[in-house]
Structures are given as C-alpha cells and as structure tokens.
Amino acid sequence: MMMSESGIKYGFPNPKKARPGITFQERCNHAKGCGCSYAHLPVDLIKNKTEAIKIGKEKIDKRGDLIPREEDIERLYPDINNVDKIENKVNFVFHLEPEIEQKLEYYSPEWREKYINFVISVAYKIKPAGIVVHPGRRDYTTNGIERSIKGACEDLQSFIRDLQRDLQSKLVATWIGLENRSGHMIEDLNHTERQRKKYGLLEFYENYGEKITDFGLVIDVEQAYTMKKKIWNDLRKFIDKVVKGHEEDRYKIHEWHLHDYNPNRRYPAHHAVGSGEIFGISTEEDYNDVKSLLQDILRSAKKGALVLTEVPSSEDVEESINYIENVLRSEDYEDYKKSIKL
C-alpha cells in the first residue's frame, strides 16, 4: 500500500448503492485518484430488491436466507474474474454485514457456516488485505430464551475464529478486525457497570479475540464519541490508553474510521459549512484536539495507520485526506490557517 506524506494509508469507502454499483476497475480508479491505497468492498447479505433480482429472488424475505451463494458471486460482482487485469489496482478490505436492515445470526451454527462459505468464495477470487466484522445485536432469542452477553460473545468468537481458520486453509492471509457500532452489543470501547447488557471492544479482545490469528480492533471514532456522551476528554483519554496498549503489544489496531462533517464533532471532517466552521476547526482548542487524535492514530501503527474516510463522494474523500494532511503538516493553529488560505 502506498503512503501519504504523513504515513497514513487511506481507504476509499464503499458507495451506498446496490451491487455491483461500480466495477472493480472504477473502484480502483476512484481510490487512486483520491490518494487512497486501498478500498472497502461490501461482502454482506442481500439488502435490497435490486440485489435480490440479480440472484433470482423475486422479493426479499427478511426472515429467509439472504446469504448469497457461490453461484451468486458473479451476478453481484460481474467483473470479479477480471480483477487480475485491473490497472491501478489497490488492495481491498472486505466490509461484512453491518446489520442495518438484515440480521446477523451468529447464534446459528448453520448460518455462520453459510456466511463464512460466501466470504471465503469471494476471498478466493480477491485476496483481501483485511476483513471488518460487526458485532451484531444481543437481544435475539434461541428457542424463546434470550442469550446472555457471554453467550453472544462466544457466538461472535466462533464466527471470527472459524472464518480465520477457513481463510488460512485456502492460503489467504489477512487480518480480521471487529468494529464498535452503536446499537450493537459492542458499541463502546470499554463497558461500564451501567452497560450490563453490553460489552466493550477491549473486553472482547482480551477475553475472546486475543488468541485468534491476526485479530484486532477497528475503531469508529464517531461511534465511540457518541458513547462517551460527546465528552471529548473522556474519548481522548481512552484512545490514548488503547494506543499505548497497542504500542506495548497488548492490543492490535487494524483500522480507524473517521466520518464526515458534523458541527457537534471535533474530529476530522470533510468540508466547511457556515458559522465560521473550518473543516470542523474554528478555534485553537479544536485544532489541538484534532491534531492530538491524529497523532495518536499515527502512533497506532508502525508501518502506516489505515484510515477509512466514511464520506459520501470521491470529492469528499480527497478533501478529507487534504484536511488531515494539512493538520498533521502544520506546526500550530496559525500555520494551519495559512495552509487552508484563510
């Protein structure tokens, strides 16, 4: 993967549209054009009518089996067999089902096996640089009995462990990262006593993931900020703890996710909007907060941190990267303001 001036390796987000959406060649062109060295690829469940029709289903049955089969792969990714011929090729990170509309049934051994088989079939054709897994919700029942948080974590562990085992059996070497997600059973970086039905990303890593080969953390800063009740200092202290743990080889951090602009956030955003806001930075305090976060992200990887800019368009991706690089390149707030020609 190529690096930016700062040493960060940037990822191109997945367009929010039905597969195929854009071809692999187009993904690579967009990524390289924005200065990205890798791109995210959806390897998820059938999520809408367009995709259902592509694989021969007349309608979506949310209670049915929406895991694509091996024979569906070429319908969902029409140019997948030409990946080796792509120019300007970048690495791909698989983004598995985020459970927005569909259901992650980790509690079902049969479901886990079917989904793993689908992921392996895609990985056999496109060897991924990494795979992002989402935790899923805990409040599902098996035979009418609600699962405990312990049982839900064990089910998730089984999925990740078996996926990595099958990848290795196909000689596909890749990392697997678990992402914190609001509304899922793992939405915060750590859990507190009031979150008895939740689990923290670090706790899962320490208790269930540490022995899985190349397993690590994918940290979504927006989700973590939300769970810290938008108290920036609490988030910063915890991220500092995680990064120190990574430096001491206690944790593995595989990727960081940074979202688009919101006036209530104080971390990387993609464009300026009114009221004097400049890329989310309007004061020296804002600048210092954002820069310290970005410096922590740089500390989290010896060979270049992976950062996914989750923004709507190619133009926004490029603008986000320029913004981050400007903050890291500048010596102080005054120097930063000069860099964006205020």
Q: How many domains does the chain have?
A: 1
H or E stretch including 196?
A: none
304: left (phi over 0), alpha (psi -120 to 50) or beta: left
The reply to whether 80 falls in a domain is yes
The reply to whether 4 falls in a domain is no
Distance CA 195, CA 191 (A): 6
The reply to whether 86 falls in a domain is yes
Distance CA 70, CA 288 (A): 49
The reply to whether 232 falls in a domain is yes
The reply to whether 45 falls in a domain is yes
Tens digit of each residue's pLDDT (9 = 90 or more) over 259-309: 765 555 555 544 333 333 444 677 888 888 888 888 989 888 877 899 998
- The domain that holds 288 is classified in CATH as 3.20.20.150
At residue 144, does pLDDT exceed 60? no
Least confident of 32-36, 88-92, 147-151: 147-151
Q: What is the pLDDT of residue 274?
A: 30
Percent of the chain with pLDDT over 70: 82
The reply to whether 3 falls in a domain is no
Three-state DSSP class for residue 40: strand
Distance CA 176, CA 160 (A): 8
Tens digit of each residue's pLDDT (9 = 90 or more) over 304-341: 899 998 887 788 888 888 888 988 999 999 998 887 76
Q: Do 289 and 232 form a contact (C-beta atoms < 8 A)?
A: yes
- Adjacent-strand bridge partners of 131: 94, 176
Distance CA 19, CA 239 (A): 35
Distance CA 14, CA 69 (A): 21
Q: Do 126 and 174 form a contact (C-beta atoms < 8 A)?
A: no
Domain that holds residue 250: 9-339
Tens digit of each residue's pLDDT (9 = 90 or more) over 18-66: 566 788 999 999 999 989 999 999 999 988 777 888 888 766 665 557 8
The reply to whether 2 falls in a domain is no
Specify burial of residue 241 (Cβ count, 10 A radius: 0-12, 13-18, 19+): middle
Q: What is the pLDDT of residue 62?
A: 57
The mean pLDDT value for 87-109 works out to: 90
The reply to whether 88 falls in a domain is yes
- Adjacent-strand bridge partners of 258: 309
The mean pLDDT value for 68-91 works out to: 90
